[in-house]
Amino acid sequence: MNAALELHDLTVRFKRFTLGPLRLDLQPGRVTGLVGPNGSGKTTSLRCIAGNLYPDAGEITVCGRRATQHDGSWKEVIGYVPDSPCFFERMTAGNFLRFMSGFYPDWSHPFAGRLVERLKLDLGARVKHLSAGNRMKVSLVAALAHRPRLALFDEPTAGLDPIVRTEVFEVLWEMMGNEDMTVLYSTHILDDLHRLADDVIFLHDGRVRLSATKDDLIDRWRRIRFGLDQELSDLAGVVEATRVGPELEVISNDGQKTLAALSSLGATRVRAQSLTLEEIAVNIMKGNGDVTHRPR
């Protein structure tokens, strides 16, 4: 089967920032979280894939369709929820959706109608009079009504109140039941990904710092407390060590290795705990993804 999205050395150069070269390969039907601090290149990556920004180098292939400037057919299978949607402010929401439907041969009016009903959208209201939450909903319907095979979400829950956020998620979950849809979801709210994501890509300064399956991260990272009657030198997997009273607490990116090493050192009262995705992300972003031991 074709990958849903392939990036081959995608590069975008700005005056003060370079994105890439990015290599990426998203398998169909999976949800990938794109995580990184502000300015790490999340929005730029999504804009390129959606075709709103031309890369300086590299190739983008969506479901086997090469992205080129003279043939826009790859865009037909993409649904894109941008970080700041561009609307015609004086149009009504209904007219805006009708306008958008013209770009997608697979647009389904009945399905768009169902989404509008689910989200309780007022189609008669002018876009400029809509709240942030309702603008997001319009953008969501515009992105999903053609049942895209690749959905790109750029921080869809940023700035939304909890009720709208839940409604947005319900629609997403509804769509996820559809095996054909692959999702690339950018966010810095790790909570969004805790349940949703299958894979996570950590971007930093325009480059991929780490790309992993979420459950592998959850399996491997551990917080371990123990007593040890000798000074701690290099310990397999440990990325951070802190002394807590008479005991040591370490963060490990390879729990099994660390536990094995500790048992051969004769550590006592060893307790291991899993980390949340949020804690893991913070450690990876601090540069702790690689094994470096920093004694304190």
CB of 219 to other proteins, least distance (A): 8
Specify the residue, 235 or 277, whose C-beta has the smaller distance to other proteins.
277
CB of 31 to other proteins, least distance (A): 6
CB of 204 to other proteins, least distance (A): 23
CB of 195 to other proteins, least distance (A): 5
DSSP string, 166-191: HHHHHHHHHHHTSTT-EEEEEES-HH
CB of 21 to other proteins, least distance (A): 27
Specify the residue, 205 or 219, whose C-beta has the smaller distance to other proteins.
219
C-alpha 3/C-alpha 61 separation (Å) is 8
Specify the residue, 14 or 173, whose C-beta has the smaller distance to other proteins.
173
Specify the residue, 84 or 273, whose C-beta has the smaller distance to other proteins.
273
266: Cα separation from own chain's centroid:
41
CB of 32 to other proteins, least distance (A): 10
- Please name the residues in contact with 249: beta carbons below 8 A apart, sequence gap of 6 or more: 223, 224, 225, 241, 242, 243
CB of 215 to other proteins, least distance (A): 5
Query: Can you give the binding site for other proteins, defined by CB under 8 A?
Result: 29-31, 169, 173, 176-177, 179, 194-199, 213-215, 218-219, 273-274
Specify the residue, 53 or 176, whose C-beta has the smaller distance to other proteins.
176
Specify the residue, 101 or 213, whose C-beta has the smaller distance to other proteins.
213
Specify the residue, 109 or 195, whose C-beta has the smaller distance to other proteins.
195
CB of 35 to other proteins, least distance (A): 15
Specify the residue, 179 or 229, whose C-beta has the smaller distance to other proteins.
179
Contact call for residues 18 and 206 (beta carbons, < 8 A): yes
